[in-house]
């Protein structure tokens, strides 16, 4: 049997013998009010009908802490970055949401955390230190600090490449840099630095494009915002200043290759030239505080800075999927699928191909599967069932680099409708593969 076929079969077998495939779960972090230690953690399932929380930590007798900044997921482990408590709380999701310890980092004002799977390391941006804390995840201890000479904000890791937005200079004036750091060795090194609009904060990576949003201020403390796109292939940077800005944050996310960002009362898609596509705007919500893309859904947090606050979830086409009430200052949200991480643990995301999450999902009768090819290659996209049987072959062709999308109409090779259940779309090119799980419902 061809090595790639063996790899696909092995991956499907891993999933097949997981005793009960579990539905995915969303975890939502509420920042809480500064100095009040009223941050809280919540969860809701894929039906988006009810929300549960606060989880594990009770704000009255066992507080989660002060200023819940961000969430990071690594397989079955959830890391909760607590900015004003100066720690990272660690939660095991595989065995009933158990609090298994903390990473105590006194006085560091941690912001965001990203994981380097190949080295089992975490990198945490720290304003107080002006650099990145490097954490050994085998024992959750800080082993080093990489100083950056400014205030780092968002951190993104793509295999052994780290990107960090430098929000401010050491004197707290606006910075305008994004660093590309090589983390392939024990000692990180800056390999490229890109100039973007002042005040870079949120970032989103899509193929060879790194999108960066900025918020900056003039001498009268009036706020403005812009968007930059870094071409990681040739190093060029496109910047667009959107003018006066009234939102608290400028979060950005990518849905099927299209960047969306906060602006005013909407989540607005950006055109190729980074201008606003007003016709595609989603939301019209007052007090937008946070935004992220999770499981191909747009999750929008609104706040009036007093609990309770709201989360509203939209499909990529703009339909409202649900609205939920939770704690003060609804912030970061992350999607956890226990079935998918078992695959991710054995198969690192390939460098030359990637398949995006299908939409809609669950679906009936058809779903769209976006994927990306970064190198000219003979490519296949096949559908398998949980027994590892080939259900349909959607693609067998030589492809040039680019973004593509195919539709599966829930038919098998014989043109017959398949039964509802779980299926897998496997994208293969050369010796690489990328896989997603599909939910067909009837």
Q: Which two tokens stand for residue 122?
A: 């975490």
Residues of the chain with CATH 2.60.40.10: 351-440
Altogether, the residues listed in the chain come to a count of 442
Residues of the chain with CATH 2.130.10.10: 23-341
The verdict on domain 23-341 having CATH code 3.40.50.720 is no
Say what the pTM is. 0.76
Cα(93)–Cα(416) distance, integer angstroms: 39
Beta-bridge partner residues of 290? 301
What separation in angstroms does the CA of 326 have from each of 23, 226, 248, 323?
21, 30, 19, 10
Beta-bridge partner residues of 231? 209
Q: What share of the chain is helix, strand, coil (3-state, %, to 5)?
A: 5, 55, 40
Stretches in the chain below the pLDDT threshold 70:
1-23, 339-351, 431
The reported pLDDT for the residue numbered 347 is: 36
Cα(299)–Cα(291) distance, integer angstroms: 6
The three-class DSSP label of residue 339 is helix
Cα(185)–Cα(160) distance, integer angstroms: 9
The three-class DSSP label of residue 12 is helix
Estimate to the nearest angstrom the gap between the alpha carbon of 259 and the chain centroid.
13
The reported pLDDT for the residue numbered 311 is: 97
The verdict on domain 351-440 having CATH code 2.60.40.10 is yes
The reported pLDDT for the residue numbered 100 is: 95
| CA angle, 119 then 41 then 346, to 5° | 30
Is residue 182 a contact partner of residue 188, using CB atoms and an 8 Å limit? Answer: yes
């Amino acid at each position: 049997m061809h090595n790639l076929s063996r790899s696909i079969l092995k991956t499907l077998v891993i999933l097949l013998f997981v005793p009960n495939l579990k539905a995915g779960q969303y975890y939502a972090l509420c920042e809480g009010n500064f100095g009040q230690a009223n941050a809280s953690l919540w969860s809701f399932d894929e039906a988006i009908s009810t929300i549960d929380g606060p989880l594990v930590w009770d704000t009255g007798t066992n507080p989660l802490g002060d200023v819940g900044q961000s969430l990071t997921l690594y397989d079955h482990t959830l890391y909760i970055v607590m900015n004003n408590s100066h720690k990272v709380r660690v939660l095991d999701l595989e065995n009933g949401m158990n609090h298994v310890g903390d990473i105590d980092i006194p006085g560091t004002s941690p912001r965001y955390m990203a994981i380097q799977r190949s080295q089992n390391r975490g990198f945490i941006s720290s304003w107080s230190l002006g650099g990145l804390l490097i954490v050994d995840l085998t024992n959750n201890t800080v082993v080093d600090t990489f100083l950056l000479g400014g205030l780092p904000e968002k951190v993104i890791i793509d295999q052994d490449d780290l990107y960090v937005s430098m929000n401010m200079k050491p004197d707290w004036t606006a910075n305008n840099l994004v660093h590309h750091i090589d983390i392939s060795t024990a000692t990180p090194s800056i390999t490229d630095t890109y100039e973007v609009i002042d005040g870079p904060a949120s970032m989103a990576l899509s193929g060879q494009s790194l999108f960066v949003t900025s918020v900056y201020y003039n001498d009268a403390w009036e706020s403005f915002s812009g968007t930059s796109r870094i071409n990681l292939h040739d190093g060029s940077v496109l910047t667009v200043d959107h003018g006066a800005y009234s939102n608290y944050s400028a979060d950005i996310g990518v849905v099927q290759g299209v960047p969306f960002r906060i602006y005013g009362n909407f989540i607005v898609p950006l055109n190729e030239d980074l201008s606003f596509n007003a016709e595609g705007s989603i939301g019209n919500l007052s007090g937008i505080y946070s935004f992220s893309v999770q499981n191909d859904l747009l999750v929008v947090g609104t706040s009036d800075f007093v609990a309770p606050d709201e989360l509203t979830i939209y499909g990529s086409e703009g339909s409202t999927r649900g609205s939920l009430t939770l704690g003060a200052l609804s912030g970061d949200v992350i999607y956890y699928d226990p079935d998918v991480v078992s695959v991710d643990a054995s198969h690192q995301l390939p460098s030359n191909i990637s398949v995006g999450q299908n939409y809609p999902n669950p679906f009936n009768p058809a779903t769209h599967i976006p994927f990306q090819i970064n190198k000219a290659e003979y490519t296949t996209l096949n559908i398998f069932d949980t027994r590892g049987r080939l259900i349909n072959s959607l693609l067998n062709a030589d492809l040039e680099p680019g973004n593509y999308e195919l539709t599966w109409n829930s038919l098998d090779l014989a043109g017959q409708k398949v039964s509802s259940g779980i299926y897998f779309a496997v994208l293969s090119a050369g010796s690489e593969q990328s896989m997603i799980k599909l939910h067909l419902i009837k």
